[in-house]
Amino acid sequence: MPRPFALAAGMAATLTLPALAGELRAPEDVLQTLIDDNESAYLTQSEQNIMMMPDNAALWTAEEGKELFFEARGPNNKSLETCDLGKGPGVVEGAYVELPRFFEDTGRVMDLESRLVYCMTSIQGFAPDDPEVKQRHGSDSDMMKLQTFIASRSSGLPWNPPMDHPLEKAMRDAGEVLFYRRAGTSDFSCSTCHTNTGNRIRASVLPSINQPHEWTKAISWPAFRVGHQQVRSSHHRIRGCYWQMRQPQSIPGSEAAIALMSFWTDAARGAPAILPDKKR
């Protein structure tokens, strides 16, 4: 049965997560199971966020993304129901936890964002500079709404990016190099913060890539960031980390960005995704 989720305090409306079928689970239930089964200062560091997970504003964003997905739009007046995210045209259930992956029609490994750009331009006829495609960040962007809807249809499913094609393995391996590569004025790498358990930056406990129960939450984007009051994507998180490391900004859809996502998703393999998440 669909489970109702109350929205922000004071709102009279409720939102229903798309019908939970098979192994799909509400994100707060996935998180609570991880907390119950593992001792982790990272998972339990924000009691308020845990309590408010059923009121996650990202659920509004997912619902708006569902409407966009099935709406005929763009110069071609078509929906995204023929967009193949890796499991067949229009199939969103379980697609997100199997990305990035290689696509025959483009000849490259793509993450969700780059695949949506491809579908919106090739199927719906949008130009790359159209606001529907160009605007990538914030809860009000079409891209964020669509990503959140599609990701929500993988909540509770294990991360399982395919590694059958040579380019999938090559991207994962390149992402590993980038993760451990120290650079910039501060001589930092992703591994500086994310290879030890219990590391902190000021009051924030950092997740360890060597702890799958922590890493799955770390990479469960899209997520509503309370401090930003916006839903953010995986690529937005990469941008934020690179800014904090004082390194050049990541480019969305670039080989480097997708390589990092390939590596970090493979590192969480088998752990259940929390989608959409709610983060500090």
Q: How far apart are CA 190 and CA 186, in angstroms?
A: 12
> Can you give the three-state secondary structure of 142-203, one letter per residue?
HHHHHHHHHHHCCCCCECCCCCCCHHHHHHHHHHHHHHHCCECCCCECHHHHHCCCCCEECC
- pLDDT in the model for residue 280: 87
Q: How far apart are CA 53 and CA 59, in angstroms?
A: 10
- pLDDT in the model for residue 225: 95
Q: How far apart are CA 94 and CA 60, in angstroms?
A: 20
Q: How far apart are CA 214 and CA 40, in angstroms?
A: 8
Counting DSSP H helices and E strands in the chain, the numbers are 11, 9
44 φ, ψ (degrees, to nearest 5): -105, 10
Instruction: Kindly give the confidence (pLDDT) of every residue in the chain, 280 residues in length, as a single tens digit, with 9 standing for 90 and above.
Output: 233 233 333 322 333 344 334 489 999 999 999 999 999 999 999 999 999 999 999 999 999 999 999 999 999 999 999 999 999 999 999 999 999 999 999 999 999 999 999 999 999 999 999 999 999 999 999 999 999 999 999 999 999 999 999 999 999 999 999 999 999 999 999 999 999 888 888 888 999 999 999 999 999 999 999 999 999 999 999 999 999 899 988 899 999 999 999 999 999 999 999 999 999 8
Query: Residue 183 CB: number of other CB atoms within 10 A?
Result: 14
Q: pTM here?
A: 0.90
- pLDDT in the model for residue 6: 31
Q: Give the residue numbers marked as catalytic.
A: 241
Q: How far apart are CA 129 and CA 42, in angstroms?
A: 39
Strand 204-205 and strand 200-201: the pairing is antiparallel
- pLDDT in the model for residue 203: 82
Query: Residue 147 in contact with residue 112, Cβ under 8 Å?
Result: yes
- pLDDT in the model for residue 78: 98
Sign of CA dihedral 163, 167, 172, 173: positive
- Element containing residue 109 per DSSP (H, E): strand 108-110
Q: How far apart are CA 190 and CA 217, in angstroms?
A: 16
- pLDDT in the model for residue 3: 33
- pLDDT in the model for residue 202: 84
Query: Residue 223 in contact with residue 277, Cβ under 8 Å?
Result: yes
Task: Tell me the one-letter amino acid at 136.
Answer: R
Contacts of 31 by beta carbon, 8 Å cutoff, 6+ apart = 43, 50, 53, 217, 274, 277
Query: Residue 179 CB: number of other CB atoms within 10 A?
Result: 18
- pLDDT in the model for residue 14: 31
Instruction: Give the CA distances from residue 274 to residues 168, 183, 217, 220, 236, in Å, rounded to whole numbers and listed in that order.
Output: 23, 31, 6, 6, 17
